[in-house]
Amino acid sequence: MDAAERDLLSSTLHKAMTTATGPALDASLAGLGWADLLTEVPEAAVPLVFRLLGETGAHAPLLNDVILHAAGRPLGGTPPLPYAGGSWVVWERGGRGAPGVCLDGELPLRVGPAGEPIPLGAGRRALGWWLVGTGRAMLALARSHVLDRTQFGRPLASFQAVRHRLAETLVALDGAEATLVAADDDLGALLAKAAAGRSALTAARHCQQVLGGIGFTAEHDLHRHVRRALVLDGLLGSARELTREAGTLVREGRSAPRLVQL
């Protein structure tokens, strides 16, 4: 896929995700050739699609397909997915969020019994891109707020304390994105998911703080991204769990693997 094709695909996907979400988006992406993209050019399609889910705030049960494809099974099913703390969830297709169960009421996740072990690397990469996209959506909301909102006679964006929080957010997101670009094995995917989860939580904390009271209300969009980040972070292992797992690995191996080489 060359740059022009990718731009075209990106704008098509963006349009789809800003006009539909959930089952409707699932159907619309199926029509746009999601299954072919996933099976033929996953290295280009997965970052693009999942990052855009984050940036637009839309959702679709595509993680199931990523897992099924990695497992060599037919697309379209709903394999049980491990969640933080030893829970398991199913990401319903065509279902609707059950209010009061999942923190992100828009996501149709259902807690269920433990399933079979699944290949985790591809799913963690996809979720990582989603989390970074969500973080960038929060950063964009915070950025436009601090430029618009005036206090003490000047824009919030002119206060160094505010600027440094947003700078830290960008550092975390850009760092996480670099780990995703380099994630071409299971350990790389584990670390990338941890970095991405942490960057989205960093974005949530700093962006909510600079948005002040408005970022705490349901009238502003931020809360949707905050809830989304919290839920996605726990899927296939939270940043905290994965970081600990990486620590165990280097301690037992007595060496810190250098995953990227010049």
Partner 1 sequence: MNVTEFRTDLRRWLDANDLSPGPDDSLDAQVTQLARVRRALYEAGWMRYGWPAEVRGLGGPPVLRAVLGEEVATRGLAEPGIYSMVEVLAPTVISYAPAELAAEMVPLLLGGREQWCQGFSEPGSGSDLASLGTRAVPRRGDWVVTGQKVWTSLAQYSARCVLLTRTAPGHAGITAFFVDMDTPGITVRPLRTMHGVDEFAEVFFDDVVVPGERMLGRPGDGWQLAMDLLPHERSTCFWHRIAHLYTRLDHLLHQMPASDSGRDDDALGAAYLALHTVRCRSHTTQRRLAEGEHLGPETSVDKVLLATAEQELFDTVRDLLPGTLELTETPWRSEYLYSRAATIYGGTAEIQRNIIARRLLNLGKE
Question: Interface residues with partner 1 (CB under 8 A)?
Answer: 139, 143, 146-147, 155, 157-160, 163-164, 166-168, 170-171, 174-176, 178-179, 181-182, 191, 194-195, 198, 240, 242-248, 250-251, 253-256, 258-260, 262
Nearest approach, Cβ of 205 to partner 1 (angstroms)? 16
Nearest approach, Cβ of 155 to partner 1 (angstroms)? 7
Q: What DSSP state is assigned to residue 260?
A: -
Strand (E) or helix (H) holding 88: strand 88-91
Nearer to partner 1, 96 or 251 (CB): 251
Nearer to partner 1, 136 or 227 (CB): 136
Distance CA(139)–CA(208), nearest Å, equals: 10
Distance CA(205)–CA(203), nearest Å, equals: 6
Residue pair 50/43 in contact by the 8 Å Cβ criterion: no
Distance CA(195)–CA(128), nearest Å, equals: 8
* Among 195, 54, 218, CA closest to 130: 54
Distance CA(35)–CA(220), nearest Å, equals: 34
- Name, in order, each residue with C-beta under 8 angstroms of 145's C-beta and a sequence gap of 6 or more: 156, 210, 211, 214, 215
Nearest approach, Cβ of 4 to partner 1 (angstroms)? 19
Nearer to partner 1, 113 or 152 (CB): 152
Nearer to partner 1, 22 or 237 (CB): 237
Nearer to partner 1, 88 or 159 (CB): 159
Nearest approach, Cβ of 174 to partner 1 (angstroms)? 5
Nearest approach, Cβ of 162 to partner 1 (angstroms)? 8
